[in-house]
Protein backbone atom coordinates (compact mmCIF):
# COMPACT_ATOMS: atom_id res chain seq x y z
CA UNK A 1 0.00 0.00 0.00
CA UNK A 2 1.15 3.55 -0.85
CA UNK A 3 0.52 6.65 1.21
CA UNK A 4 1.42 10.20 0.20
CA UNK A 5 1.87 12.87 2.87
CA UNK A 6 1.18 16.27 1.31
CA UNK A 7 0.98 19.90 2.47
CA UNK A 8 3.70 19.33 5.07
CA UNK A 9 6.85 21.14 6.08
CA UNK A 10 9.21 18.20 5.65
CA UNK A 11 12.09 18.35 8.10
CA UNK A 12 15.01 16.03 7.34
CA UNK A 13 17.96 15.45 9.66
CA UNK A 14 20.72 14.06 7.46
CA UNK A 15 23.31 15.26 6.54
CA UNK A 16 22.09 18.27 8.53
CA UNK A 17 18.66 19.30 9.86
CA UNK A 18 16.79 21.38 7.28
CA UNK A 19 13.41 21.85 5.60
CA UNK A 20 13.10 19.99 2.29
CA UNK A 21 10.65 20.68 -0.52
CA UNK A 22 7.88 18.38 -1.66
CA UNK A 23 5.74 15.49 -0.49
CA UNK A 24 6.68 12.20 1.15
CA UNK A 25 5.72 8.82 -0.34
CA UNK A 26 5.43 5.73 1.88
CA UNK A 27 5.43 2.26 0.34
CA UNK A 28 5.31 -1.00 2.29
CA UNK A 29 6.19 0.73 5.54
CA UNK A 30 9.26 2.49 4.17
CA UNK A 31 9.99 5.93 2.80
CA UNK A 32 9.87 5.46 -0.98
CA UNK A 33 10.53 9.03 -2.16
CA UNK A 34 10.61 12.69 -1.15
CA UNK A 35 9.86 15.35 -3.76
CA UNK A 36 7.36 16.71 -6.26
CA UNK A 37 5.09 14.92 -8.74
CA UNK A 38 4.48 11.88 -6.50
CA UNK A 39 1.12 10.07 -6.40
CA UNK A 40 -0.55 7.40 -4.25
CA UNK A 41 -3.99 5.88 -3.69
CA UNK A 42 -4.07 7.14 -0.10
CA UNK A 43 -3.29 10.82 0.62
CA UNK A 44 -2.72 12.36 4.04
CA UNK A 45 -3.01 16.17 4.17
CA UNK A 46 -0.65 17.33 6.92
CA UNK A 47 -2.32 20.74 7.13
CA UNK A 48 1.04 22.56 7.06
CA UNK A 49 2.36 20.58 10.03
CA UNK A 50 6.03 19.67 10.34
CA UNK A 51 6.68 16.06 9.35
CA UNK A 52 10.02 14.73 10.53
CA UNK A 53 11.69 11.45 11.51
CA UNK A 54 10.31 9.99 14.73
CA UNK A 55 12.40 10.78 17.79
CA UNK A 56 14.85 8.20 19.16
CA UNK A 57 15.04 7.76 22.93
CA UNK A 58 18.36 5.98 23.37
CA UNK A 59 17.95 5.18 27.07
CA UNK A 60 14.78 4.67 29.08
CA UNK A 61 13.62 2.25 31.77
CA UNK A 62 10.16 1.83 30.27
CA UNK A 63 8.85 -0.34 33.14
CA UNK A 64 9.06 2.68 35.45
CA UNK A 65 6.08 4.36 33.73
CA UNK A 66 3.88 3.16 36.61
CA UNK A 67 6.22 4.97 39.04
CA UNK A 68 5.86 8.31 37.22
CA UNK A 69 6.69 11.36 39.37
CA UNK A 70 7.09 9.09 42.38
CA UNK A 71 9.98 11.21 43.59
CA UNK A 72 11.29 14.16 41.54
CA UNK A 73 13.46 15.04 44.56
CA UNK A 74 15.32 11.74 44.73
CA UNK A 75 19.06 11.49 44.29
CA UNK A 76 20.63 8.56 42.45
CA UNK A 77 21.18 6.85 45.81
CA UNK A 78 17.52 7.27 46.89
CA UNK A 79 16.36 5.95 43.54
CA UNK A 80 18.61 2.88 43.60
CA UNK A 81 17.40 2.03 47.09
CA UNK A 82 13.65 2.55 46.58
CA UNK A 83 13.00 1.81 42.91
CA UNK A 84 15.56 -0.89 42.15
CA UNK A 85 16.08 -2.27 45.64
CA UNK A 86 12.52 -2.39 46.97
CA UNK A 87 9.96 -1.92 44.17
CA UNK A 88 11.46 -3.72 41.14
CA UNK A 89 11.51 -7.20 42.77
CA UNK A 90 7.79 -6.99 43.61
CA UNK A 91 6.66 -6.47 39.99
CA UNK A 92 4.57 -9.41 38.76
CA UNK A 93 4.48 -10.51 35.14
CA UNK A 94 1.21 -8.64 34.64
CA UNK A 95 2.61 -5.49 36.31
CA UNK A 96 5.57 -5.49 33.93
CA UNK A 97 3.33 -5.92 30.90
CA UNK A 98 1.02 -3.10 32.01
CA UNK A 99 3.97 -0.84 32.83
CA UNK A 100 5.77 -1.40 29.52
CA UNK A 101 2.59 -0.95 27.48
CA UNK A 102 1.80 2.34 29.25
CA UNK A 103 5.42 3.51 29.10
CA UNK A 104 5.64 2.85 25.36
CA UNK A 105 2.42 4.81 24.82
CA UNK A 106 3.94 7.69 26.81
CA UNK A 107 6.89 7.66 24.41
CA UNK A 108 4.77 7.43 21.24
CA UNK A 109 2.46 10.16 22.53
CA UNK A 110 5.41 12.56 22.59
CA UNK A 111 6.73 11.61 19.14
CA UNK A 112 9.27 8.96 20.18
CA UNK A 113 9.03 6.12 17.64
CA UNK A 114 12.11 4.19 18.76
CA UNK A 115 12.92 3.30 22.35
CA UNK A 116 16.06 1.69 23.78
CA UNK A 117 14.32 -0.01 26.68
CA UNK A 118 16.85 -0.79 29.46
CA UNK A 119 14.70 -3.30 31.34
CA UNK A 120 16.25 -4.19 34.71
CA UNK A 121 13.08 -5.74 36.11
CA UNK A 122 12.02 -9.41 36.16
CA UNK A 123 9.74 -10.94 33.47
CA UNK A 124 11.43 -9.87 30.20
CA UNK A 125 8.83 -11.70 28.09
CA UNK A 126 6.05 -9.58 29.56
CA UNK A 127 8.11 -6.40 29.08
CA UNK A 128 8.72 -7.25 25.43
CA UNK A 129 5.01 -8.03 24.91
CA UNK A 130 4.09 -4.63 26.36
CA UNK A 131 6.27 -2.90 23.76
CA UNK A 132 4.81 -5.05 20.99
CA UNK A 133 1.26 -4.22 22.05
CA UNK A 134 1.99 -0.47 21.91
CA UNK A 135 3.51 -0.76 18.42
CA UNK A 136 6.72 1.16 19.12
CA UNK A 137 10.03 0.26 17.44
CA UNK A 138 12.56 -0.76 20.06
CA UNK A 139 15.85 -2.15 21.16
CA UNK A 140 14.97 -4.30 24.16
CA UNK A 141 17.84 -4.62 26.62
CA UNK A 142 17.84 -6.97 29.61
CA UNK A 143 20.58 -8.19 31.98
CA UNK A 144 19.50 -11.86 32.02
CA UNK A 145 21.46 -13.58 29.22
CA UNK A 146 19.53 -16.85 29.35
CA UNK A 147 16.12 -15.15 29.36
CA UNK A 148 17.19 -12.87 26.52
CA UNK A 149 18.26 -15.88 24.45
CA UNK A 150 14.78 -17.39 24.78
CA UNK A 151 12.96 -14.28 23.48
CA UNK A 152 11.59 -14.28 19.94
CA UNK A 153 10.91 -10.61 19.18
CA UNK A 154 9.18 -9.40 16.00
CA UNK A 155 11.35 -7.83 13.28
CA UNK A 156 10.90 -4.26 14.52
CA UNK A 157 12.41 -5.07 17.94
CA UNK A 158 16.13 -5.85 18.35
CA UNK A 159 17.69 -7.34 21.46
CA UNK A 160 20.53 -5.99 23.58
CA UNK A 161 22.38 -6.88 26.73
CA UNK A 162 21.87 -4.48 29.63
CA UNK A 163 25.25 -4.98 31.30
CA UNK A 164 25.77 -4.64 35.05
CA UNK A 165 29.56 -5.08 35.03
CA UNK A 166 32.04 -3.59 35.39
CA UNK A 167 30.28 -0.77 37.29
CA UNK A 168 27.40 -2.49 39.14
CA UNK A 169 28.98 -5.96 38.99
CA UNK A 170 32.37 -7.68 38.55
CA UNK A 171 34.30 -7.31 35.31
CA UNK A 172 34.31 -11.12 34.97
CA UNK A 173 30.54 -10.93 34.57
CA UNK A 174 30.99 -8.27 31.91
CA UNK A 175 33.36 -10.57 30.03
CA UNK A 176 30.69 -13.32 30.03
CA UNK A 177 28.00 -10.82 28.97
CA UNK A 178 30.09 -9.52 26.09
CA UNK A 179 30.89 -13.04 24.87
CA UNK A 180 27.18 -14.00 24.84
CA UNK A 181 26.12 -10.73 23.22
CA UNK A 182 28.68 -10.92 20.45
CA UNK A 183 27.84 -14.55 19.64
CA UNK A 184 24.22 -13.51 19.12
CA UNK A 185 24.85 -10.04 17.66
CA UNK A 186 23.10 -8.26 20.51
CA UNK A 187 23.87 -4.58 21.13
CA UNK A 188 25.42 -3.80 24.54
CA UNK A 189 24.92 -0.93 26.92
CA UNK A 190 26.00 0.00 30.41
CA UNK A 191 25.63 2.83 32.94
CA UNK A 192 28.92 4.52 33.89
CA UNK A 193 30.21 7.75 35.41
CA UNK A 194 33.60 8.88 36.74
CA UNK A 195 36.72 6.83 36.19
CA UNK A 196 37.33 3.10 35.91
CA UNK A 197 34.61 1.71 33.65
CA UNK A 198 35.97 2.59 30.22
CA UNK A 199 39.51 1.82 31.39
CA UNK A 200 38.40 -1.63 32.58
CA UNK A 201 36.44 -2.41 29.38
CA UNK A 202 39.45 -1.33 27.32
CA UNK A 203 41.86 -3.52 29.34
CA UNK A 204 39.66 -6.54 28.68
CA UNK A 205 39.28 -5.74 24.96
CA UNK A 206 35.52 -5.21 25.25
CA UNK A 207 34.97 -1.77 23.69
CA UNK A 208 33.60 -1.59 20.16
CA UNK A 209 30.97 0.03 17.92
CA UNK A 210 28.32 -2.26 19.47
CA UNK A 211 28.86 -0.75 22.94
CA UNK A 212 26.93 2.28 24.22
CA UNK A 213 27.91 3.98 27.46
CA UNK A 214 25.10 5.81 29.27
CA UNK A 215 25.83 9.07 31.20
CA UNK A 216 29.65 9.40 31.20
CA UNK A 217 29.69 12.35 33.62
CA UNK A 218 33.26 13.03 34.71
CA UNK A 219 34.92 10.78 32.12
CA UNK A 220 38.51 11.81 31.46
CA UNK A 221 39.60 12.99 28.03
CA UNK A 222 41.67 9.81 27.79
CA UNK A 223 38.60 7.64 28.42
CA UNK A 224 36.66 9.53 25.75
CA UNK A 225 39.53 9.17 23.29
CA UNK A 226 39.64 5.43 24.03
CA UNK A 227 35.90 5.19 23.32
CA UNK A 228 36.24 7.19 20.10
CA UNK A 229 39.14 5.04 18.89
CA UNK A 230 37.04 1.90 19.49
CA UNK A 231 33.95 3.37 17.80
CA UNK A 232 31.92 3.06 21.01
CA UNK A 233 28.89 5.35 21.39
CA UNK A 234 27.33 7.37 24.20
CA UNK A 235 23.94 8.44 25.47
CA UNK A 236 23.41 11.35 27.81
CA UNK A 237 20.27 11.92 29.89
CA UNK A 238 20.78 15.59 30.80
CA UNK A 239 17.45 16.15 32.57
CA UNK A 240 17.93 13.21 34.93
CA UNK A 241 21.64 13.88 35.36
CA UNK A 242 20.96 17.44 36.48
CA UNK A 243 18.11 16.38 38.75
CA UNK A 244 19.69 13.34 40.40
CA UNK A 245 23.19 14.64 40.98
CA UNK A 246 25.26 12.84 38.34
CA UNK A 247 27.02 16.13 37.55
CA UNK A 248 27.18 18.25 34.41
CA UNK A 249 26.17 16.33 31.28
CA UNK A 250 28.97 15.57 28.82
CA UNK A 251 27.20 16.29 25.51
CA UNK A 252 29.75 18.85 24.34
CA UNK A 253 32.82 16.79 25.28
CA UNK A 254 31.54 13.46 23.86
CA UNK A 255 30.70 15.13 20.57
CA UNK A 256 33.99 17.03 20.47
CA UNK A 257 35.69 13.61 20.59
CA UNK A 258 33.61 12.50 17.58
CA UNK A 259 31.53 10.04 19.62
CA UNK A 260 27.97 9.46 18.34
CA UNK A 261 25.80 10.67 21.21
CA UNK A 262 22.11 9.97 21.74
CA UNK A 263 19.59 11.44 24.18
CA UNK A 264 17.55 9.59 26.76
CA UNK A 265 14.71 10.29 29.17
CA UNK A 266 16.10 7.60 31.52
CA UNK A 267 13.45 7.53 34.25
CA UNK A 268 10.03 9.12 34.66
CA UNK A 269 10.37 8.64 38.41
CA UNK A 270 12.05 12.05 38.35
CA UNK A 271 11.60 13.70 34.90
CA UNK A 272 8.92 13.89 32.17
CA UNK A 273 8.71 11.16 29.53
CA UNK A 274 9.02 13.42 26.47
CA UNK A 275 12.23 13.92 24.53
CA UNK A 276 11.45 17.59 23.79
CA UNK A 277 12.31 18.55 27.37
CA UNK A 278 15.46 16.41 27.17
CA UNK A 279 16.50 18.28 24.00
CA UNK A 280 16.08 21.54 25.87
CA UNK A 281 18.22 20.23 28.75
CA UNK A 282 20.95 19.29 26.25
CA UNK A 283 20.89 22.67 24.52
CA UNK A 284 23.38 24.81 26.48
CA UNK A 285 26.65 24.75 24.54
CA UNK A 286 25.27 22.76 21.59
CA UNK A 287 23.52 24.32 18.55
CA UNK A 288 19.82 23.51 18.16
CA UNK A 289 20.38 21.71 14.86
CA UNK A 290 22.95 19.42 16.51
CA UNK A 291 20.58 18.66 19.38
CA UNK A 292 17.92 17.69 16.83
CA UNK A 293 20.42 15.32 15.23
CA UNK A 294 21.07 13.74 18.62
CA UNK A 295 17.33 13.15 19.03
CA UNK A 296 17.10 11.50 15.58
CA UNK A 297 19.90 10.30 13.29
CA UNK A 298 22.76 10.49 15.81
CA UNK A 299 20.68 8.72 18.46
CA UNK A 300 19.92 6.07 15.85
CA UNK A 301 23.65 5.68 15.28
CA UNK A 302 24.29 5.45 19.03
CA UNK A 303 21.94 2.44 19.23
CA UNK A 304 23.12 0.82 15.99
CA UNK A 305 20.04 1.57 13.85
CA UNK A 306 21.17 4.52 11.70
CA UNK A 307 20.80 2.51 8.49
CA UNK A 308 17.14 1.85 9.29
CA UNK A 309 15.74 5.00 10.95
CA UNK A 310 16.53 8.58 11.99
CA UNK A 311 16.14 10.52 8.72
CA UNK A 312 13.83 10.89 5.71
CA UNK A 313 16.26 8.99 3.47
CA UNK A 314 14.33 6.79 0.98
CA UNK A 315 14.59 3.13 1.96
CA UNK A 316 14.39 3.77 5.68
CA UNK A 317 11.40 2.81 7.79
CA UNK A 318 8.60 5.38 7.61
CA UNK A 319 8.78 6.21 11.33
CA UNK A 320 7.45 9.76 11.39
CA UNK A 321 6.08 12.40 13.73
CA UNK A 322 3.72 15.14 12.60
CA UNK A 323 4.05 18.30 14.70
CA UNK A 324 1.38 20.99 14.44
CA UNK A 325 2.68 24.52 13.89
CA UNK A 326 -0.49 26.45 14.71
CA UNK A 327 -0.65 25.95 18.48
CA UNK A 328 -0.16 28.88 20.85
CA UNK A 329 3.15 27.41 21.95
CA UNK A 330 4.48 26.97 18.40
CA UNK A 331 3.23 29.73 16.07
CA UNK A 332 4.68 31.71 14.44
CA UNK A 333 7.09 29.18 12.90
CA UNK A 334 9.70 30.40 10.44
CA UNK A 335 12.50 27.87 10.98
CA UNK A 336 11.17 24.35 11.70
CA UNK A 337 14.45 23.14 13.22
CA UNK A 338 14.56 25.92 15.79
CA UNK A 339 10.80 25.65 16.41
CA UNK A 340 10.98 21.92 17.22
CA UNK A 341 14.02 22.20 19.46
CA UNK A 342 13.07 25.50 21.05
CA UNK A 343 9.33 25.22 21.55
CA UNK A 344 7.63 21.95 20.55
CA UNK A 345 5.99 19.86 23.23
CA UNK A 346 3.89 16.75 23.60
CA UNK A 347 0.69 18.72 22.97
CA UNK A 348 1.88 19.71 19.50
CA UNK A 349 2.25 16.08 18.34
CA UNK A 350 -0.63 15.54 15.93
CA UNK A 351 0.13 12.07 14.55
CA UNK A 352 2.76 9.38 14.88
CA UNK A 353 3.63 6.73 12.30
CA UNK A 354 5.68 3.56 12.83
CA UNK A 355 6.60 1.65 9.67
CA UNK A 356 4.15 3.83 7.73
CA UNK A 357 1.20 2.99 9.95
CA UNK A 358 -0.46 5.58 12.18
CA UNK A 359 -0.38 4.35 15.78
CA UNK A 360 -2.63 5.04 18.76
CA UNK A 361 -0.77 7.00 21.43
CA UNK A 362 -2.99 6.49 24.42
CA UNK A 363 -5.48 3.95 25.78
CA UNK A 364 -7.97 4.19 28.64
CA UNK A 365 -7.56 0.50 29.40
CA UNK A 366 -3.76 0.77 29.53
CA UNK A 367 -4.03 3.78 31.85
CA UNK A 368 -6.38 1.92 34.21
CA UNK A 369 -4.00 -1.02 34.40
CA UNK A 370 -1.07 1.32 35.12
CA UNK A 371 -3.06 3.03 37.88
CA UNK A 372 -3.89 -0.33 39.48
CA UNK A 373 -0.24 -1.39 39.48
CA UNK A 374 0.79 1.94 41.02
CA UNK A 375 -1.87 1.69 43.72
CA UNK A 376 -0.77 -1.79 44.73
CA UNK A 377 2.96 -1.12 44.64
CA UNK A 378 2.75 2.02 46.74
CA UNK A 379 -0.06 0.94 49.09
ZN1 LIG B 1 19.36 4.50 33.33
CATH number for the domain that contains residue 34: 2.30.40.10
In a domain, 75, yes or no: yes
Spacing, Cα 328 to ligand 1 middle (Å): 34
Distance 263 CA to ligand 1 centre (A): 11
- Cα–ligand 1 centroid distance for 126 (angstroms): 20
On whether both 59 and 208 belong to a single domain, the answer is: yes
Domain count, the chain: 2
Read off the CATH number of the domain in which 271 is found.
3.20.20.140
Distance 61 CA to ligand 1 centre (A): 6
Distance 266 CA to ligand 1 centre (A): 5
Band (pLDDT 50/70/90 cuts) for residue 289 is very high
- If we measure between CA atoms, which residue out of 111, 92, 12, 95 comes closest to residue 52? 12
Query: What's the CA gap between 106 and 346, in Å, rounded?
Result: 10
pLDDT at 379: 87
Whole-prediction pTM: 0.98
Whether 5 has a pLDDT exceeding 90, the answer reads yes
Output the CA 299–ligand 1 centroid distance in Å: 16
351 and 287 share a domain? no
Strand 187-192 relative to strand 157-163: parallel, antiparallel, unpaired?
parallel
Q: Which helix (H) or strand (E) holds 339?
A: helix 336-342
User: For helices 93-109 and 124-134, what crossing angle results, to 10°?
Assistant: 30
What average pLDDT does this structure show over 206-214? 98
Residue 219 in any domain: the answer is: yes
Kindly state the DSSP code that residue 317 receives in the 8-state scheme: B
CA of 273 to the centre of ligand 1 (A): 13
Give distance in angstroms: CA of 377 to centre of ligand 1. 21
For residue 59, the CA-to-ligand 1 centroid distance in Å is: 6
| 249 domain residue, yes or no | yes
**3-class secondary structure for 178-232?**
HHHHHHHCCEEEEEECCCCHHHHHHHCCCCCCCEEEEECCCCCHHHHHHHHHHCC
| 105 and 16 inside one domain | no
Q: What tens digit of pLDDT does each residue of 158-193 get?
A: 999 999 989 989 999 999 999 999 999 999 999 999
Beta bridge partners of 116: 139
CA 126 distance to own-chain centroid: 20
Compute the distance from residue 265 Cα to the ligand 1 centre, in Å: 9
Residue at 377 is within a domain: no
Residues 249 and 332 in one domain: no
What's the rounded Cα separation, in Å, for the pair 314 and 301? Answer: 17
Q: Residue 304: helix, strand or coil by DSSP?
A: coil
**pLDDT tens digits, residue range 301-342?**
999 999 999 999 999 999 999 999 999 999 999 999 999 999
The mean pLDDT value for 227-235 works out to 98
> 8 C-alpha vs ligand 1 centroid, how far in Å?
36
Mean pLDDT score across all residues of the chain? 97
The pLDDT tens digits of the residues spanning 243-286 come to 998 999 999 999 999 999 999 999 999 999 999 999 999 999 99
Query: What three-state secondary structure class fits 140?
Result: strand
265 and 161 in one domain? yes
CA of 60 to the centre of ligand 1 (A): 6
- 200 phi and psi angles, rounded to 5 deg: -65, -45
In a domain? residue 72: yes
Q: Does residue 69 sit within a domain?
A: yes
Instruction: Give strand pairing partners of 139.
Output: 116, 158
* Helix ranges (DSSP H) in 38-92: 76-79
**Three-state secondary-structure class, residue 11:** strand
Do the Cβ atoms of 217 and 307 come closer than 8 Å?
no
Tell me the percentage of the chain whose pLDDT exceeds 90.
Answer: 97
Residue 278 included in any domain: yes
> How many Å lie between the centroid of ligand 1 and the Cα of residue 282?
16
Q: Are residues 208 and 292 both part of a single domain? A: yes
Are 254 and 327 in a shared domain? no
How confident is the model at residue 52, as a pLDDT? Answer: 98
The residue range of the domain holding 238 is: 55-302
Amino acid sequence: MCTLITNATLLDTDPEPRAVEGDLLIEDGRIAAVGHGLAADHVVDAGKAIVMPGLVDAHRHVWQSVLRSLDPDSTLGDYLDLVLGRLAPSFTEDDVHAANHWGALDALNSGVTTLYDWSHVPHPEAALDGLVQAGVRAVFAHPDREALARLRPPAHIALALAATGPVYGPVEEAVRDWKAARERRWHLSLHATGTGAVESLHRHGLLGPDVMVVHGNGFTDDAMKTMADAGATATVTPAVEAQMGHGAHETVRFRAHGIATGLGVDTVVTVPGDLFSVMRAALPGTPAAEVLRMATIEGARAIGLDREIGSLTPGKHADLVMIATDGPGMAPVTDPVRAVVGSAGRGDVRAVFVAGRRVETTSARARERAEQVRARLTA
